[in-house]
Amino acid sequence: MAMYAPKTILFHTLICLLLTMASQSKASLNSNYYHQTCPQAEKIILQTVYNAFMHDPKIPARILRMFFHDCFIRGCDASLLLDSTPGNQAEKDGPPNISVRSFYVIDDAKAKLEMACPRTVSCADIIGIAARDVVTMSGGPYWNVLKGRKDGRVSRANETINLPAPTFNVSQLIQSFARRGLGVKELVALSGGHTLGFSHCSSFESRLRNFTSLHDVDPSMNNEFAQKLRKKCPKPNRDRTAGELLDSTSSTFDNDYYKQVVAGKGVFGSDQALFSDYRTRWIVESFAEDQSLFFKEFAASMVKLGNAGVIEDGEVRLNCRVVN
């Protein structure tokens, strides 16, 4: 029988302990993360989101956009929810996020969760679950949200420059999504989130007048559609609320967005570009023809985006607007 010196035994014990600690500290997401610690978490979030939706039909588009804009900066860490301070301008006050609305829905869900399960459910997970719920209640797919994210402590307005812009071409979009570990298929599938929502004129009016020295209007745009938008967005435009729905069934999560793009009626330049580029056109066409395929790929892409940049050293905020 082999004999080991006490120092050797101690060394091996320490190694095993460190390996165990390392495996426990590594960020690990799973769909049952709150099964023991807060089993009613998803029900509380769903009820909060549904109640808000009953009073404001814009809630689904706003919550889904909130998820995208949070995850594209620093990963899905709820940094978008942090308020600015005298010494720091936060993400929510960056130019692309000025129009992000309905933070109160997340605040309401967080307050209820703190009563039910104090210091347990992260703000980042609330956004992820709420985004899934608004898609489902709008007629879209359901998926199991992987949970266990922590909330970040850093939020900088100047980092919002890294959000994909509505003027991007396909090469720029591919590069932007690749930084989050997302491929071309995920890019086209997640763009389908534009099936919900509305855009103000400022995000697409550059396509309507003086587009280039050769074309007054973006030639990729359906001419009848372009004339309709020019009437809605006159020059000068004194109506700050003027704009256009992002597809013809903007309160229903469906594949109409892709049908609109195929018809030359994509509102953003970045939308229409997906049909103009050979790398993405075939995917747009397949989603326009097969809604169930779009739903399947959208759900898978939302899970993949939700895994981007998961942080290990964050916290569970008690108030989603401020760090602990």
The domain limits of the chain are 40-162, 170-303
Q: What beta strand segments (E) does 78-149 contain?
A: none
Q: Is 91 annotated as a binding residue?
A: yes
- In the prediction, which pLDDT does 1 show? 43
Query: In this predicted model, what pLDDT tens digit does every residue of 84-116 receive, in sequence order?
Result: 999 999 999 998 888 888 999 999 999 999 999
**Residue range 141-165: average pLDDT?**
94
Residue type, 284: V
Gap between the Cα atoms of 204 and 239, Å rounded: 15
Given the candidates 1.10.420.10, 3.40.50.1370, 3.60.9.10, 3.10.129.10, the CATH classification of the domain at 170-303 is: 1.10.420.10
3-class SS of residue 290:
coil
Gap between the Cα atoms of 70 and 78, Å rounded: 6
Peptide bond before 236: cis, by omega within 30 degrees of 0? yes
Q: Which long-range contacts (CB under 8 A, 24 or more apart) does 48-54 make?
A: 48/105, 48/108, 48/109, 48/112, 48/130, 49/105, 49/109, 49/130, 49/133, 49/134, 49/137, 50/133, 50/137, 52/102, 52/104, 52/105, 52/108, 53/134, 53/137
Q: Is 77 annotated as a binding residue?
A: yes
In the structure, what pLDDT confidence band is assigned to residue 66 with cuts at 50, 70 and 90? very high
The CATH code belonging to domain 40-162 is: 1.10.520.10
Based on the residue annotation, tell me whether 55 is a catalytic residue of this protein: no
Q: Which residue has the tokens 């709150």?
A: 34
* 20, pLDDT greater than 80: no
Q: Which residue has the tokens 């007629």?
A: 139
Query: In this predicted model, what pLDDT tens digit does every residue of 192-249 receive, in sequence order?
Result: 999 998 888 988 999 999 988 889 999 999 999 999 999 999 988 888 889 998 888 8
How far does Cα 283 stand from its chain's mean position?
Answer: 20
Q: Is 285 annotated as a binding residue?
A: no
Q: Is 141 annotated as a binding residue?
A: no
Q: Is 70 annotated as a binding residue?
A: yes
Which one from 55, 69, 200, 215 is the annotated catalytic residue? 69
> What number of other Cβ atoms are within 10 A of residue 110's Cβ?
24
Q: Which residue has the tokens 């390392």?
A: 22
Pick from 207, 200, 203: nearest CA to 163: 203
Gap between the Cα atoms of 315 and 321, Å rounded: 13
Structure tokens at 44: 């509380």
**Residue range 156-185: average pLDDT?**
94
